[in-house]
Amino acid sequence: MTSITLSGVNKSFGANFPVIRDVDLEIADGEFCVFLGPSGCGKSTLLRMVAGLEMAYSGQIRIGDRVVDKVEPADRQVAMVFQNYALYPHMSVYENMAFGLRQAKTPKDEIDRRVKEAARILQIEPLLDRMPKALSGGQRQRVAIGRAIVRQPKVFLFDEPLSNLDAALRVHMRSEIATLHRNFPAASMIYVTHDQTEAMALADKIVLLHAGKDMLKHGSIAQVGKPLDLYHRPRNLFVAGFLGSPTMNFIAATFIGQETAGAHVALKGGEELLVPVDGSKLAAGAPVTLGVRPEHLAPVPGPAGQTLTRKVSAVEHFGEYSFVYLDGGTPAPLIAKVPGDGGVKAGDTASYQAPADCCHLFDADGIALTQI
Amino acid sequence: MASSPATRVAGRIAVPVLGLFWLAVTTVPFLFMVMTTFKTQEESYSSSVWALPESLNFVNYADVLSGPFLTYLKNSVMVVAISVVLIVLISAMAAYAFARIRFRFNEALFGLIVAGMIVPIHITLVPIYLMTREIGLYDSPFALIGPYVATSLPISVFILTEFMRQIPKELEEAARLDGCGPFTIFFKIFFPLSGPGLSTIAIYNAIMLWNEFIFAYVLTSSTSTRTLPLAIWDYQGQYTSNIPAILAVVTLTSLPLVVAYAFGQEKIVKGMMAGSVKG
């Protein structure tokens, strides 16, 4: 059993600086869980609490069947890969990987076997005699992962392991970490990142964390679920706005009434749209926010049902697709992600269809209305 | 503010000129000292002080080396070596605690130790002399080790604490995950990684203690227990001094330091800047 359970976990730095609030979380055996959130949301702190490098102010952390709140980091059967690699600069690659095993008094031939096996998996065998300073960023990250592998942990912890690498190497290492997860199916993995692409690509489960006032108001966890669940069924405005690039369009609207097919809303621009959600608890005239992702806005020849017609303020071309910026978003301009060059230019008036099943509706508190 | 071309030219000339001037100020006495060691005592009185020696005369060196010089040398090496080892070990452990362990009086204690740098050693002479007599160490080279270590610790702890604060916290955390306790982290991670800082401390203190005069003068009195800085007393009589022999003693005494500085100059300079320049 390598499941990880956090129950009622809270953490403050001093009396007045809460960083983690009311975290209840279950990470299943062998699951790849990503802690995602903006800077300062406490995702690294939460990871470090699982590692034993930070103590929880209250609550309980279990790894498997064991409560580990008072267990030393080395005895939790976890291994951690740090953002800046944290390789011991005065030891060779081999010594770096063997160090933890030597501390655990593992027999010499067993250490040798495990280090060489990890080096083979990570293709760093020729580097074993080198010192860390003689390695590239990608090689150092591999060694850091190798140091984690040799310990044969029940839980792998990754603290933003790719953020110091360049874009191309990041994509490559991301696929290597996915491979690592397949090679060690029994081990659970927790991965911290602020990069939603990494989270979407790697996670079995994403834990999206609030920061600042949202954390104080709603607790640390914004939403937990499979990546596509968070993408298609965000629980609130924060989740909807955090996932997706460019971010989801938000438009101020007024609730008109509930029909069988969904809620009827009027936008500030005058259009009326149907959103397949349950708005029966809302009063007519209640302020709501319509959300629709840029990639779901499809260009149409002119105003029709379920369309937005706006003045084009700018167009950005990326070859395969373009971003068309439209007036009238809340607070940022609306963006439509359209194929090719978009067929419009700044100053034009253009219409885009927002398919009903791609629209989201949020009440005045920013909570998503249930989809029907 | 951009400097004018005239200012830049003046700067380009003034800096080397001042450098050469300072080189002369520091090297001329040294050259004078070495030159004089090759003169006989009579020659040093009869000729001009700036006159070159008539021949390369090693009689002063032979004279010095046939006396108790080697005993002084042995005492100096022993006292400095033991003191430096203790200073490095104690200051490294203290610096690790101040740099990395959070405890209630961390800042206050660090401030107190660093404040020790402003205490003039002369006001401690009498109490230390009395204590040394009391514990029966008076007139032993070992009497010097305690005061040497104590007076060297403030600057050493200060420099090393700054040094250890620069070592990434993640290395310590990685070591904790690898199963290390505080002592293993100190000896296997921080101590080796502080190598440049430790050698700075070692070289700096070795130089200071090698030249130390006042404690050696107060706490030792016999020829068999004295250290090198006191050796010149053997060549100073009531009515006359053997100046070439005294300068030969000084030359031989300073020789190890000149060699040490030649090899460790970079580390000494770096250590001196460690406290004031961050990063």
| DSSP code string of B114-178 | HHGGGS-GGGGHHHHHHHHHHTT-TTSGGGGHHHHHHHHHHHHHHHHHHHHHTS-HHHHHHHHHT
| Same domain (yes/no): B80, B217 | yes
Q: Which of A241, A269, A304 is the last residue of a domain?
A: A241
Give the minimum alpha-carbon distance from B175 to chain A in angstroms, rounded to a whole number.
Answer: 8
pTM across the whole model: 0.81
* CATH number, domain containing residue B180: 1.10.3720.10
pLDDT at B270: 65
pLDDT at B277: 38
- The helix/strand/coil state of A158 is strand
Residue whose tokens read 């002399």: B129
| Same domain (yes/no): B10, B137 | no
Q: Which of A52, A74, A90 sits opposite B178 (nearest CB)?
A: A74
Whether the upstream peptide bond of residue A89 has omega within 30° of 0, thus cis, is no
Q: With contact defined as beta carbons under 8 Å apart, do B82 and B76 qualify? A: no
- Nearest Cα residue in chain A from B179: A74
Phi/psi at A265 (nearest 5 deg)? Answer: -130, 150
**B-contacting residues of A 179-218, CB under 8 Å?**
none
| Same domain (yes/no): A201, A255 | no
* CATH number, domain containing residue A270: 2.40.50
> What is the per-residue pLDDT across A183-224, written as a single tens digit (0 to 9) for each?
888 899 999 999 999 999 999 999 999 988 888 888 889 999
pLDDT at B278: 34
pLDDT at A192: 96
pLDDT at B177: 94
| Same domain (yes/no): A229, A254 | no
| Same domain (yes/no): A192, A310 | no
Is B61 a domain residue? no
Q: Distance from CA of residue A163 to its chain's centroid?
A: 14
**Distance (Å, whole) CA A136 – CA A147:** 16
| Same domain (yes/no): B114, B168 | yes
| Same domain (yes/no): B9, B89 | no
**B-contacting residues of A 134-173, CB under 8 Å?**
147
Give B-chain residues touching A88 at CB under 8 angstroms. Answer: 171, 174-175, 189, 193
| DSSP code string of B15-40 | HHHHHHHHHHHHHHHHHHHHHHHTS-
Cβ separation B168–A84 shorter than 8 A: yes
Give the minimum alpha-carbon distance from B184 to chain A in angstroms, rounded to a whole number.
Answer: 9
The DSSP 8-state label assigned to residue B2 in this structure reads P
Whether the upstream peptide bond of residue A246 has omega within 30° of 0, thus cis, is yes
Give B-chain residues touching A73 at CB under 8 angstroms. Answer: 173, 176-177
**Distance (Å, whole) CA B79 – CA B145:** 6
pLDDT at B126: 94
Query: Of A88, A96, A101, which to mutate for an interface test with B (greatest number of B Cβ within 10 Å)?
Result: A88
The DSSP 8-state label assigned to residue B237 in this structure reads -
Report residue B239's pLDDT band, with 50, 70 and 90 as the boundaries.
low
> Greater confidence, B273 or A200?
A200
Residue whose tokens read 């070592």: B167
Is B56 a domain residue? no
> What is the per-residue pLDDT across B199-213, written as a single tens digit (0 to 9) for each?
888 888 988 899 999
* Domain that includes residue A296, residue range: 246-362
| Same domain (yes/no): A73, A12 | yes
* CATH number, domain containing residue A152: 3.40.50.300
Give B-chain residues touching A51 at CB under 8 angstroms. Answer: 173, 177
- Nearest Cα residue in chain B from A98: B178
Q: With contact defined as beta carbons under 8 Å apart, do A20 and A55 qualify? A: no
B274 pLDDT exceeds 60? no
Q: How many domains does chain A contain in total?
A: 2
- Nearest Cα residue in chain B from A84: B170
| Same domain (yes/no): B102, B218 | yes
Q: What's the average model confidence in pLDDT over B187-206?
A: 90
Is B50 a domain residue? no
Cβ separation B177–A74 shorter than 8 A: yes
| Same domain (yes/no): A204, A92 | yes
Give A-chain residues touching B168 at CB under 8 angstroms. Answer: 84, 86
Hey, how many other C-beta atoms are within 10 angstroms of the C-beta on A355?
11
| Same domain (yes/no): A221, A305 | no
| Same domain (yes/no): A226, A187 | yes
> What is the per-residue pLDDT across A115-150, written as a single tens digit (0 to 9) for each?
999 999 888 999 999 999 999 988 999 999 999 999
> What is the per-residue pLDDT across B4-42, written as a single tens digit (0 to 9) for each?
788 888 888 899 999 999 999 989 999 999 999 999 888
Give A-chain residues touching B180 at CB under 8 angstroms. Answer: 74, 103
Give the torsion through C-alpha atoms of A23, A27, A33, A34, to 10 deg.
0
Q: Which of A206, A224, A241 is the last residue of a domain?
A: A241
Q: Which of A214, A241, A268 is the last residue of a domain?
A: A241
| Same domain (yes/no): A266, A199 | no
pLDDT at B268: 65
pLDDT at A63: 93
B264 pLDDT exceeds 90? no
Query: Of B169, B178, B185, which to mutate for an interface test with A (greatest number of A Cβ within 10 Å)?
Result: B178
Is A107 a domain residue? yes
Q: What's the average model confidence in pLDDT over B148-154?
A: 95
| DSSP code string of A175-233 | HHHHHHHHH-TTSEEEEEES-HHHHHHH-SEEEEE--HHHHHHH-SEEEEE-HHHHHHS
Structure tokens at B18: 């001042």
**Helix ranges (DSSP H) in A246-315:** none
Q: Which of A74, A88, A103 sits opposite B171 (nearest CB)?
A: A88
> Greater confidence, A177 or B279?
A177
pLDDT at A91: 95
**Distance (Å, whole) CA A300 – CA B167:** 60
Structure tokens at B101: 């362990």
Residue whose tokens read 């030159």: B35
- Nearest Cα residue in chain B from A86: B171
Q: Which of A84, A89, A103 sits opposite B179 (nearest CB)?
A: A103
| Same domain (yes/no): A91, A14 | yes
Cβ separation B193–A104 shorter than 8 A: no
| Same domain (yes/no): B158, B74 | yes
Q: What's the average model confidence in pLDDT over B88-117?
A: 93
| Same domain (yes/no): B111, B231 | yes
pLDDT at A1: 64
**Distance (Å, whole) CA A5 – CA A66:** 10
The DSSP 8-state label assigned to residue B242 in this structure reads -
| Residue ranges of chain B whose CB lies within 8 Å of a chain A CB | 168, 170-171, 173-180, 184, 189, 192-193, 195
Which of these, B144, B128, B127, B131, lies nearest to B84 by C-alpha position? B144
| Same domain (yes/no): B110, B189 | yes
Is A372 a domain residue? no
B276 pLDDT exceeds 60? no
| Same domain (yes/no): A189, A123 | yes
Binning chain B into helix, strand and coil, the percentages to the nearest 5 are: 75, 0, 25
Q: What's the average model confidence in pLDDT over A93-100?
A: 96
Task: List own/partner pairs for B177-184 with CB under 8 A and 24 or more apart.
Answer: B177/A51, B177/A52, B177/A53, B177/A73, B177/A74, B177/A78, B177/A79, B177/A80, B177/A100, B178/A74, B178/A99, B178/A100, B178/A103, B179/A74, B179/A100, B179/A103, B179/A104, B180/A74, B180/A103, B182/B101, B184/A103
* Domain that includes residue B154, residue range: 67-274
Q: How many domains does chain B contain in total?
A: 2
| Same domain (yes/no): A222, A263 | no
**Distance (Å, whole) CA A313 – CA A117:** 57
Q: With contact defined as beta carbons under 8 Å apart, do B210 and B148 qualify? A: no
Query: Of A76, A82, A84, A151, which to mutate for an interface test with B (greatest number of B Cβ within 10 Å)?
Result: A82
Give A-chain residues touching B184 at CB under 8 angstroms. Answer: 103
Give B-chain residues touching A80 at CB under 8 angstroms. Answer: 173-174, 177
> What is the per-residue pLDDT across A242-295, written as a single tens digit (0 to 9) for each?
999 899 999 999 999 998 889 999 987 678 899 999 988 889 899 999 999 999
Pairing of strands A298-300, A307-317: unpaired
| DSSP code string of A48-66 | HHHHTSS--SEEEEEETTE
| Same domain (yes/no): B172, B121 | yes
Q: With contact defined as beta carbons under 8 Å apart, do A71 and A62 qualify? A: no
Is A367 a domain residue? no
Q: With contact defined as beta carbons under 8 Å apart, do A249 and A294 qualify? A: yes
pLDDT at A352: 92
Q: With contact defined as beta carbons under 8 Å apart, do A301 and A351 qualify? A: yes
One-letter amino acid at B115 equals A
pLDDT at B12: 87
What lies within 8 Å, CB to CB, of A40 at 6+ separation is A211, A212
Is B60 a domain residue? no
Pairing of strands A155-159, A188-193: parallel
> What is the per-residue pLDDT across B158-172, written as a single tens digit (0 to 9) for each?
999 999 999 999 999
A157 pLDDT exceeds 90? yes
| Same domain (yes/no): A290, A352 | yes
**Distance (Å, whole) CA A49 – CA A145:** 20
Give A-chain residues touching B195 at CB under 8 angstroms. Answer: 90
Tally of helices (H runs) and strands (E runs) in chain A = 9, 20
**Distance (Å, whole) CA A14 – CA A36:** 24
**Distance (Å, whole) CA B55 – CA B58:** 9
Count interface pairs A-B at CB distance under 8 A: 53
| Same domain (yes/no): B14, B124 | no
ipTM score of complex: 0.84
Is B62 a domain residue? no
Report residue B1's pLDDT band, with 50, 70 and 90 as the boundaries.
low
| Same domain (yes/no): B121, B241 | yes
> Greater confidence, A333 or B216?
B216
